[in-house]
Amino acid sequence: MAAERVMRGPGPGPAGAGLAGTAVLPVRGLAVLALALALAGCGSATVTHAATVTHAATVTHVASDTHAATPHTVDPAAAAIPAALVRESRPIGHGPAFDPAATGPVLGACRPALGRRVGVHVEVFGANRVVLVAAGIGVRPPLRWSAGRITRAGCFGALVTLEPTGVVLVAPGARLTVSDLFRSWGQPLSADRLASFQGRVRVYVGGRPRAGPAAAVPLRPHAEIVLEVGPYVPPHSSYNFPPGS
């Protein structure tokens, strides 16, 4: 996996951003945000992720000529990006710790059809980097994929993820928590452990700190839940869910 900046294209994303985000990688930033980060001197803005990027995109630096008498031209789209989005942007981490596979059990009855679902959005950060919430939590093979998304499975449990966007689809009426998500994901979660990362685990719901164990946070319809270990990452307060979730 190679991803130097997190981007979005057409599709759902954090609410209030003014631009919609993707089923590509709805974690941090927008398509033009990569350019803004480049302007800020944040390094390469090339984005590729074989499993999920449906439209590879390369954003080049706008070079400032330190010897020129006239200022360089700034792309109006980059200049219009809210400063809050620039502060919130984080790259996806490199290595398996930042892309842990789904290895846990299916929770509840495993049914042949997905059926009606309600969406919850969960973001995970370790060491100031994005940790992808895996696609394939709560499903069983055979799986059919299209553009990085599971479109068919042998059966679907009470909570599932179909793409690595952080959107968790929960069966209506299921009383599930973040602990259930991590159990079905096959990743550890405690007061001082978040997947492969150790340290005090912080949790935010709707952009606000939540007291108590992260594991106990309920997966309520359209909740925006952010879990972090390491440096503080400004949490999103809401998420624009796809139609039907």
pLDDT digits (tens, 9 = 90+) for 195-223: 999 999 999 999 999 999 999 999 999 99
Reported as a pLDDT band with limits 50, 70 and 90, residue 133 is: very high
Q: Which candidate, 111, 108, 106, 117, places its Cα nearest to that of 222?
A: 117
Model confidence, pTM: 0.71
Q: What is the share, in percent, of the chain residues with pLDDT greater than 70?
A: 68
Reported as a pLDDT band with limits 50, 70 and 90, residue 51 is: very low
pLDDT at site 85:
77
List Cβ<8 Å contacts ≥24 apart for 10-16: 11/242, 12/167, 12/239, 12/240, 12/241, 12/242, 13/239, 13/240, 14/224, 14/236, 14/238, 14/239, 14/240, 15/236, 15/237, 15/238, 15/239, 15/240, 16/237, 16/238
Three-class DSSP category at 4: coil
User: What value does the mean pLDDT of the chain take?
Assistant: 77
Summarize pLDDT for 4-17 with one digit per residue, the tens.
333 333 334 555 43
pLDDT at site 65:
35
Biggest distance spanned by C-alpha atoms of the chain: 69
Sign of CA pseudo-dihedral 238, 31, 51, 91: negative
Tokens 């490199």 — which residue? Answer: 94
